[in-house]
Amino acid sequence: DAGVIQSPRHEVTEMGQEVTLRCKPISGHDYLFWYRQTMMRGLELLIYFNNNVPIDDSGMPEDRFSAKMPNASFSTLKIQPSEPRDSAVYFCASSLAGTDEKLFFGSGTQLSVL
Amino acid sequence: AQSVTQLGSHVSVSEGALVLLRCNYSSSVPPYLFWYVQYPNQGLQLLLKYTSAATLVKGINGFEAEFKKSETSFHLTKPSAHMSDAAEYFCAVSEGFQKLVFGTGTRLLVSP
């Protein structure tokens, strides 16, 4: 398996623009997570899905952030409108129930909002 | 709610020296505990995990960690550091349901 695939690897955008980050989890995994990593706050869980259903979105910072998982092999994290403070590395991870919560991470999307 | 505290944002060791990265956890139920490693420009990879079996857990690359309930600790150690161990290390805790809470990370620097 190719692992968790995220795109794009780097995104540079201007304040106010819409940003969409994409993730393809490992085939067969039933959990998908979106994390954000910054120097100030470390690694924060934004939202996670189980069998395509959002389970906990309490980490989503505000209404500008939204996430969807239309099917088992694809998820998006959207920021609209983007702000400079959204600049961070966004990671997607997936896992399989019954495996003691071992997460497999993608390589991340480095987002810079100017 | 569960949480972890990693003492020291940076740890520097010489090649061949003992590596000790500290992690203390807070959890209302018996926790699952993890150490993940992040190399530059990569995602996190699992080093080892504790899931209520043996208290001394051995992981990849010669790392191990010991669960000490009395101290609420799960420190990561390696007897002899290698240059390739230079990375950022994250401790994490879970109370189940696939949801992990990560610490702020410790950057390990290894000098020749």
Reported as a single tens digit per residue, the pLDDT across A37-88 is 998 888 899 999 999 999 999 999 889 999 999 999 999 999 999 999 999 9
Non-local CB neighbours of A65 within 8 Å, separated by 6+ positions = A46, A77, A78, A79
Q: Which of A41, A57, A91, A101 to mutate to test the interface with B (most CBs of B within 10 A)?
A: A101
- A chain contacts of residue B36, beta-carbon cutoff 8 Å: 103
What distance in Å separates the CA atoms of residue A32 and residue A47, rounded to the nearest whole number?
8
**Given pLDDT bands bounded at 50, 70 and 90, which one contains residue B51?**
confident
Residue B103 touches chain A, beta carbons under 8 Å: yes
Mean pLDDT of B73-92: 96
Check residue A102 and give its pLDDT.
83
Residue A103 touches chain B, beta carbons under 8 Å: yes
Which residue of chain A comes nearest to B40, CA vs CA?
A107
Asked whether the beta carbons of residue B43 and residue A107 sit closer than 8 angstroms, the reply is yes
Contact A26, A1 (CB under 8 A): yes
- B chain contacts of residue A95, beta-carbon cutoff 8 Å: 98
